[in-house]
Amino acid sequence: MKYRLVYSHRAIRDIDALESKVKQRIGKTLLRYESDPLKYAETLKQSELGSY
Protein backbone atom coordinates (compact mmCIF):
# COMPACT_ATOMS: atom_id res chain seq x y z
CA MET A 1 0.00 0.00 0.00
CA LYS A 2 1.37 3.39 -0.94
CA TYR A 3 0.67 6.42 1.21
CA ARG A 4 0.31 10.00 0.05
CA LEU A 5 2.34 12.77 1.62
CA VAL A 6 0.54 16.07 2.15
CA TYR A 7 2.57 19.23 2.77
CA SER A 8 1.37 22.44 4.39
CA HIS A 9 2.03 25.74 2.65
CA ARG A 10 4.58 26.60 5.31
CA ALA A 11 6.43 23.31 4.84
CA ILE A 12 6.66 23.94 1.10
CA ARG A 13 7.97 27.45 1.72
CA ASP A 14 10.53 26.21 4.25
CA ILE A 15 11.76 23.42 1.98
CA ASP A 16 12.08 25.82 -0.96
CA ALA A 17 14.37 28.01 1.17
CA LEU A 18 16.86 25.17 1.76
CA GLU A 19 20.01 24.43 -0.20
CA SER A 20 19.70 22.03 -3.13
CA LYS A 21 21.66 19.19 -1.50
CA VAL A 22 19.59 19.41 1.68
CA LYS A 23 16.36 19.36 -0.36
CA GLN A 24 17.51 16.19 -2.12
CA ARG A 25 18.32 14.44 1.17
CA ILE A 26 14.96 15.37 2.64
CA GLY A 27 13.19 14.31 -0.55
CA LYS A 28 14.81 10.87 -0.55
CA THR A 29 13.92 10.33 3.09
CA LEU A 30 10.31 11.40 2.61
CA LEU A 31 9.93 9.05 -0.35
CA ARG A 32 11.03 6.16 1.87
CA TYR A 33 8.33 7.08 4.38
CA GLU A 34 5.77 7.31 1.58
CA SER A 35 6.26 3.66 0.65
CA ASP A 36 6.09 2.23 4.20
CA PRO A 37 5.97 4.77 7.06
CA LEU A 38 5.65 2.20 9.85
CA LYS A 39 8.85 0.44 8.81
CA TYR A 40 10.86 3.24 10.41
CA ALA A 41 8.62 3.74 13.45
CA GLU A 42 9.85 3.09 16.98
CA THR A 43 7.79 2.32 20.05
CA LEU A 44 7.19 5.22 22.41
CA LYS A 45 9.05 4.73 25.67
CA GLN A 46 8.51 6.48 28.99
CA SER A 47 5.66 8.60 27.72
CA GLU A 48 4.52 11.29 30.14
CA LEU A 49 1.15 11.49 28.41
CA GLY A 50 -1.62 10.91 30.93
CA SER A 51 0.65 11.37 33.95
CA TYR A 52 -0.54 13.59 36.76
Structural domains of the chain, count: 1
- Confirm whether 28 is domain-assigned: yes
Alpha helices in 1-52 (DSSP H): 9-16, 20-35
Which pLDDT score, from 0 to 100, does residue 11 have?
A: 94
- Confirm whether 51 is domain-assigned: no
- Confirm whether 12 is domain-assigned: yes
**Per-residue pLDDT reduced to its tens digit, 1-43:** 778 889 999 999 999 999 999 999 999 998 888 888 888 888 8
- Confirm whether 4 is domain-assigned: yes
What is the extent of the structural domain holding 16?
A: 1-35
Strand, helix or coil for residue 34: helix
Q: pTM for this structure? A: 0.62
Q: Cα–Cα distance between 18 and 27 in angstroms, integer?
A: 12
Q: How does 3-19 read in b/e, with b if 16+ C-beta sit within 10 Å?
A: eeeeeeeeeeeeeeeee
Mean pLDDT of 40-50: 79
- Confirm whether 41 is domain-assigned: no
